Structure 1
Amino acid sequence: MEKLLYIMLIWVVSTTSIYSQTVAGKIVDESNQPIEFANIVCLSLPDSTFIYGTISDQDGKFTIPENSSKGILRISSVGYATTYKECKDRNIGTILLHSDTQLLGEVVVKGNLPVTRMKGDALVTSVQNSVLAKAGSANDVLGKVPGILKDKDSFEVFGKGTPLIYINGREVRDKSELEQLSSEDIKHVELITNPGARYDATVNAVVRIQTIRRTGDGFGFNLNSSYYQSENVDLVEQADVNYRHNGLDMFAMFRYDKMEFRERTNVHQTLISKKQLDLENQLKYNDNKQWLRGNIGMNYMFDENNSIGIKYSIQGSPRYDSKLYTTSKVSLDGKVFDRLQNFTSSETDNELNHQLNAYYTGRVGNLEIDFNADYYQSGYLQEDITGEESEEQEDRDVHAASDVANNLAAAKLVLSYPVWKGKFSVGGEWTYTHRKDNYLNVENYVPSSNSKMNEMNITAFAEYSRSISIGDFILGARYEQIKFDY
């Protein structure tokens, strides 16, 4: 058992960070007007690895620590063409961004660009009625939000690392939710870089996505089909249906994904020293995956301030297998030293994953109530076979199996009330996690193992926040009790 109690005082001041030695610049548009909230990312050369990121202020100005500026700058802002500039001097000068007249298939004008503004402790970017509504999915939207860097399917907040992501107050525990959420259903995105006591101490940044509450009675249908042709065929098929009447909104979704991956590689390496060593490698890799996803649920609005809802999601993979073939020939001074052949086959039987969420958001007088509860269950059985053949060494086969099961239950309640021109919030959170791992190696090259893990976390917190002339004042306290059994 572990108990943790800490008090946190945060004073957020709206000033630019100051470093002993910095590289500075300014971002303007074609009318020489400053561009606020542009993303400035410093990339290393030649591999374009992310080094540092920041955003421009209301005057279009930005600074980067000199020790993080060795490389090239990538400057981007929605509605403008991305620009690259090499870092040579401490004063980069003025960088001009040209308007992108065609963006996401839409004609770009000032009126349909997303608006980003500070609201309390959050940087809020509008999506509804802007070109971002045509971005595609929530993944695509987050990749264009100021202060966030997208790298494939992961996100990083400048200076804070990986954020915790919420949709309508519910924590996203399955990343596929972001791909399934259409950008047209997003109202705005909030980025919090100084989370208060309501979040765990390990959380350095939070992204909150707020969706649009649709109006109008009757049935609605939406069918999407995507076909990708390369050496193989990939498919994404999705069907959505919903029914709305007065405050009731019922919905269901079904999605099928078929993905194949092929890789062929031939590599010849020569190492010349006292003797010449030649390595010839051939690789063939095939990966086949199919996913079935679905959900059903309902929301009900009692009035403008009170609503409840429940959502059940299920997903599984009826087929997931991969095969890897490698052939190697080793020659020393032109004479064959050894020929090696390796074969690896992996088949995964995914159990159906289940997720259930229920929520209530409301207001009683001036008291705000936010409640969420989640249950999540997943598991899989993976069997691997590896064969190794050598002309000079001993042949061997390796059989391994992994059986994994996960269960999670969580609930969170937050009560907020206006106090002294600010807001006072109290709440609690409960989380229970169970995981079972069984590993078996028939030949015992790797010892077989069995493990179980149980963890329960009970949290209580209180927080007071108030906006003042120079920034935001936040005072919070958080208590955690953790029980861990392995």
Structure 2
Amino acid sequence: MKGSIVFILLFLVAGWQAAIAQAISGKVVDRQGKALPYVTCVLRSVTDSAYLAGTVTQADGTFSLSKPEADCTLHLSMMGYESKEIAHPSGNLGTITLQADTMTLDEVVVRGETPLMTMKDNVLTYNTSQILAKRNITNGHELLKELPSVMSLNGEDIDLVGAQTTTIFISGKRKQMTLDYLKSLPADQIEKVEVIFNAPPEWHVSGAVLNVVLKKNDRYTLNGMLQAGYENQHANTYNGGGSLFASTPHWNYEFIYKYTNGIGVSQETTESHHALNGTLYDIYSQVDGRNKWQGHSIFASAGRDVGEKGDITLSYTGRLNPKDKTTSIGQNSYFGNSTSQKDGHDYLHYVDLTYTNGKGTKAGVSYMNYYDRGLQALRVTDPEGTETSSLDYNSSQRVSTWRGYIDMRHKLAHGWTLTYGGSYTYTNTKNRQTQETDLGNLENETSESKLEEHNGDLYLGVMKSFWDGKLSLYASLTDNYYKINDYKRNTLIPMAQVTWMPSQSHIFQFYGSIWRDYPSYWQTRDFASYSDAYTRNEGNSGLTPDLTYSAMATYVLKGKYTLQANYMRINNHMLYQGYQSDEELALIYRQQNIDYFQTVEVTASIPVTLWKWWDVNIALTGAWQHYKASNWNGLYFNRHKWLGLAILNNTFTLAKKPKIQANVMAFYRTGPLQGFMDYTPNWGVNASLRMTFLKDKATLSVGCNDIFQTGITDFHQRLGTQNLTFNLGRFVSRAIYVRFSYKINGYKERSRQEVDTSRLGM
């Protein structure tokens, strides 16, 4: 791999060492002597009630905390029970009994809470046990949507508020089809969720990271979950599957399977005033689509402990879609009616081998093979039904990717920490297209293309804490090399992070970094896909990577309220937008590079408990966007705009036995920009009702996303002769669903109760 010599300027700072004393431990039970899991245990300073340390009780009611040097008070609290305080706790406190809370639901409760977020090793961590104790949550996907800093406007996607891109990791490992994995992952398998707003180079991704850390058992266990679901988004979709997690003292196994048989509907309307050769064509079209598919998702892994804290894991991910059929019926005021039939299938296989030694070394190799094939038959008819033109299009793509990485971390003298490593990815993509047509000025042709991509990086980083850990500094430099066919680029990528934490109640973080984003394989593929005789999507083999400059400041107040400000500029930004061709009567959608895109954003996340039965997560965003293109298909634009987004995620506890909760998420967004496209303002409401029964093993959920079918926005383009108004499926976006899950807790080794479970971080 070609590149320059990596170097870094080290910070000269003083050392840090935390002082801890003996452990504080005990067991929490109710009045009948039954163990209470998920009880919040917090140590607070006697002098100023500042948060010192915290945890929650395990399944058997036990807990353990390291006693700080400062004089402290132990606070125990749990929904439905009276809080308890123990002054000057020390050693084993024995059995502690909590009394049932007899206050009525409509009373307002004001009491101190365990911080929802804590800081450790420059990483913000969510206390997921606290959320699980209050919310009726079944799987990992539902849990992430309940985090105050996370938004999911459509009920499916997971994004950090204020982040441009969010990548989800599972226990530090990047998986394929992460959302399917999370939906099949029992929520109680999750130990914690780490939030990294600007990922350092050892994560090998750009932007933000959500790291879902799973519990690691060192005893014999067997548990899992069975699931089934139904969804109607103006057509029926069924899915079912399950997950199984097993462990022995040295081995861990996972198996997840999901089957989906679905039908999706879509509707696109376009009003185009197309100027061509001095003539203005007024074209109105509507395309109604119906997609039928079958899919299988498979995940399996086996891992073995190596040494005291290390492990080696082999995993397989498969996505098999043997049937994918789309029928589109178009009505066009100029070209006549059209019928399009697309048939295809695709397969993905991914094998991953990872190793960690528990002492700062991580390494892995992976191989991915992806294949898809599609056939499209487009027929255009006049008002009398006579065929006037046709197109038959056959395409295939095969992608093979090899990847390897190694990351190392060493403790040096005087409190220094050194990180270094690298990764290399090689991708081979083969595309083939055959086209037979008499449509417009298109010609019969057969083409083949091959892309070879090389992407490698080396990085070096240092960390240092001082002033009793209140101030931490991190800096790194990465040398990135990228080559695709004849295009190649070498880039030095610096990153710096400063964390100032006078206490756990006040956390400040400041980031600055540069990174490159690369076009996806399908974006650089030479292809054409037709919606009707007028509209088509194209690939762009000339697409090149962009370069992002990012700076962010984050403030966390009392472990729960988050305020962020960030600036980002993307040079050579890859913009996807429609274009009314000046060479033919065609509307062409294609990704192209423009000069830059920049944005300034301020976001706030505010979780609030209004009453014991009503919790609200409020997210507010204000942003300024700016797009500039000196030559976009011969046009120039330089546009900017202010916008806002408000999200209210409400959870209502309706009953405790059985546990019934309702969730209502509502949002409003002013119209953003995308290039010279103006989006209209939009709003939406999602609602669900979830009930847990059969000793908390079974969960039934019913809900509806985008109840009022207002969540999808329209847009229009006005620039020069470009005059286009577009609507994408506003009236087919409502989705009603029913989901059932049943947790399997088959076996736990009772003879090993003495095993230390402090590794679970509870």
TM-score range, shorter chain: 0.5 to 0.7
Q: Distance in 2 between matches of 1:289 and 1:109?
A: 51
State whether residues 287 and 331 of structure 2, in contact with CA within 8 Å, keep that contact through their aligned partners in structure 1. yes
Which of the residues 364, 378, 383 maps onto 1:386? 378
Which of the residues 170, 173, 184 maps onto 2:173? 170
| Cα pair distance change 1:227/1:111, threshold 3 Å | farther
Q: CA deviation at 1:296?
A: 2.5
Q: Which amino acid aligns with 1:370?
A: K
Q: Which residue of 2 aligns with 1:299?
A: 303
| Cα pair distance change 1:148/1:231, threshold 3 Å | closer
| Cα pair distance change 1:343/1:130, threshold 3 Å | same
Q: Distance in 1 between matches of 2:9 and 2:227?
A: 48
| Cα pair distance change 1:433/1:174, threshold 3 Å | farther
Q: Which residue of 2 aligns with 1:194?
A: 198
State whether residues 142 and 150 of structure 1, in contact with CA within 8 Å, keep that contact through their aligned partners in structure 2. no
Q: Which residue of 2 aligns with 1:22?
A: none
Q: Which amino acid aligns with 1:353?
A: L
Q: Which residue of 1 aligns with 2:127?
A: 126
Q: CA deviation at 1:397?
A: 0.7
Please say if 1:207 is aligned against 2:210. yes
Q: Which amino acid aligns with 2:209?
A: V
| Cα pair distance change 1:425/1:373, threshold 3 Å | same
Q: Distance in 1 between matches of 2:111 and 2:428?
A: 51
Q: Which residue of 2 aligns with 1:454?
A: 452
Q: Distance in 1 between matches of 2:110 and 2:374?
A: 52
Q: Distance in 2 between matches of 1:339 and 1:460?
A: 54
Q: Which residue of 1 aligns with 2:406?
A: 413
Matches for 1:103-182 after TM superposition, within 5 Å: 115-128=116-129, 130-131=131-132, 134-152=136-154, 153-175=156-178, 176-182=180-186
Please say if 1:474 is aligned against 2:466. no
Matches for 1:71-110 after TM superposition, within 5 Å: none
Q: Which residue of 2 aligns with 1:395?
A: 388
With normalisation by structure 1, the TM-score equals 0.66
Q: Distance in 1 between matches of 2:322 and 2:299?
A: 17
Matches for 1:303-342 after TM superposition, within 5 Å: 304-328=308-332, 340-342=336-338
1:233-254 Cα offsets, whole Å, 9 max, x none, are 3211112334433222233232
Q: Distance in 2 between matches of 1:418 and 1:313?
A: 35
Q: Which amino acid aligns with 1:473?
A: L
Which of the residues 417, 422, 427 maps onto 1:423? 417
Q: Which residue of 2 aligns with 1:369?
A: 361
Q: Which amino acid aligns with 1:411?
A: G
| Cα pair distance change 1:340/1:188, threshold 3 Å | same
| Cα pair distance change 1:396/1:465, threshold 3 Å | same
State whether residues 113 and 130 of structure 1, in contact with CA within 8 Å, keep that contact through their aligned partners in structure 2. no
| Cα pair distance change 1:416/1:240, threshold 3 Å | same
Q: CA deviation at 1:144?
A: 3.6
Q: Distance in 1 between matches of 2:417 and 2:318?
A: 38
State whether residues 134 and 184 of structure 1, in contact with CA within 8 Å, keep that contact through their aligned partners in structure 2. no
State whether residues 169 and 372 of structure 1, in contact with CA within 8 Å, keep that contact through their aligned partners in structure 2. no
Secondary structure class of the residue paired with 1:195:
coil
Q: Distance in 2 between matches of 1:137 and 1:358?
A: 26
Q: Which amino acid aligns with 1:464?
A: V
Please say if 1:434 is aligned against 2:428. yes
With normalisation by structure 2, the TM-score equals 0.44
State whether residues 389 and 437 of structure 2, in contact with CA within 8 Å, keep that contact through their aligned partners in structure 1. no
Q: Which amino acid aligns with 2:191?
A: K
Q: Distance in 2 between matches of 1:284 and 1:198?
A: 46
| Cα pair distance change 1:344/1:9, threshold 3 Å | farther
Secondary structure class of the residue paired with 1:395:
strand
State whether residues 4 and 481 of structure 1, in contact with CA within 8 Å, keep that contact through their aligned partners in structure 2. no
Which of the residues 229, 250, 253 maps onto 1:226? 229
Q: Distance in 2 between matches of 1:111 and 1:233?
A: 47
State whether residues 373 and 397 of structure 2, in contact with CA within 8 Å, keep that contact through their aligned partners in structure 1. yes
Please say if 1:251 is aligned against 2:254. yes
Q: CA deviation at 1:264?
A: 7.0
| Cα pair distance change 1:285/1:110, threshold 3 Å | farther
State whether residues 5 and 478 of structure 1, in contact with CA within 8 Å, keep that contact through their aligned partners in structure 2. no
Please say if 1:485 is aligned against 2:485. yes
Q: Distance in 2 between matches of 1:121 and 1:471?
A: 10
Q: Distance in 1 between matches of 2:268 and 2:466?
A: 61
1:403-423 Cα offsets, whole Å, 9 max, x none, are 011111212211212222242
1:249-283 Cα offsets, whole Å, 9 max, x none, are 233232101121235799999xxxxxxx9999765
Q: Distance in 2 between matches of 1:111 and 1:182?
A: 29
Q: Distance in 2 between matches of 1:10 and 1:346?
A: 58
Secondary structure class of the residue paired with 2:473:
strand
Please say if 1:346 is aligned against 2:339. no
Q: Distance in 1 between matches of 2:152 and 2:324?
A: 27
Q: Distance in 1 between matches of 2:388 and 2:312?
A: 62
Q: Distance in 2 between matches of 1:268 and 1:485?
A: 39
State whether residues 10 and 462 of structure 2, in contact with CA within 8 Å, keep that contact through their aligned partners in structure 1. no
State whether residues 299 and 316 of structure 2, in contact with CA within 8 Å, keep that contact through their aligned partners in structure 1. yes
Q: Which runs of 4+ in 1 moved over 6 A?
A: 8-11, 108-114, 264-269, 277-282
1:15-44 Cα offsets, whole Å, 9 max, x none, are xxxxxxxxxxxxxxxxxxxxx9xxxxxxxx
Q: Which residue of 2 aligns with 1:355?
A: 350
1:134-173 Cα offsets, whole Å, 9 max, x none, are 5444443333434443344444444441033322222234
State whether residues 360 and 372 of structure 1, in contact with CA within 8 Å, keep that contact through their aligned partners in structure 2. yes
| Cα pair distance change 1:140/1:402, threshold 3 Å | farther
State whether residues 184 and 256 of structure 2, in contact with CA within 8 Å, keep that contact through their aligned partners in structure 1. no
Q: Which amino acid aligns with 1:361?
A: T
Please say if 1:235 is aligned against 2:233. no
| Cα pair distance change 1:230/1:198, threshold 3 Å | closer
Where do 5+ consecutive residues of structure 2 fail to align?
A: 12-50, 52-78, 80-104, 273-280, 487-762
Q: Which amino acid aligns with 1:207?
A: L
| Cα pair distance change 1:440/1:308, threshold 3 Å | same
| Cα pair distance change 1:466/1:144, threshold 3 Å | farther
Secondary structure class of the residue paired with 2:188:
helix
Q: Which residue of 1 aligns with 2:676?
A: none
State whether residues 8 and 461 of structure 2, in contact with CA within 8 Å, keep that contact through their aligned partners in structure 1. no
Q: Which amino acid aligns with 1:217?
A: Y
Where do 5+ consecutive residues of structure 1 fail to align?
A: 12-35, 37-78, 80-100, 103-107, 270-276, 331-337
Secondary structure class of the residue paired with 1:131:
helix
State whether residues 122 and 193 of structure 1, in contact with CA within 8 Å, keep that contact through their aligned partners in structure 2. no
Q: Which residue of 1 aligns with 2:60?
A: none
| Cα pair distance change 1:404/1:189, threshold 3 Å | same
| Cα pair distance change 1:149/1:301, threshold 3 Å | same
Percent identity, aligned pairs only? Answer: 15
Q: CA deviation at 1:305?
A: 0.9
Q: Which amino acid aligns with 2:462?
A: Y
Q: Which residue of 2 aligns with 1:85?
A: none
Q: Which residue of 2 aligns with 1:285?
A: 289
Q: CA deviation at 1:114?
A: 7.5
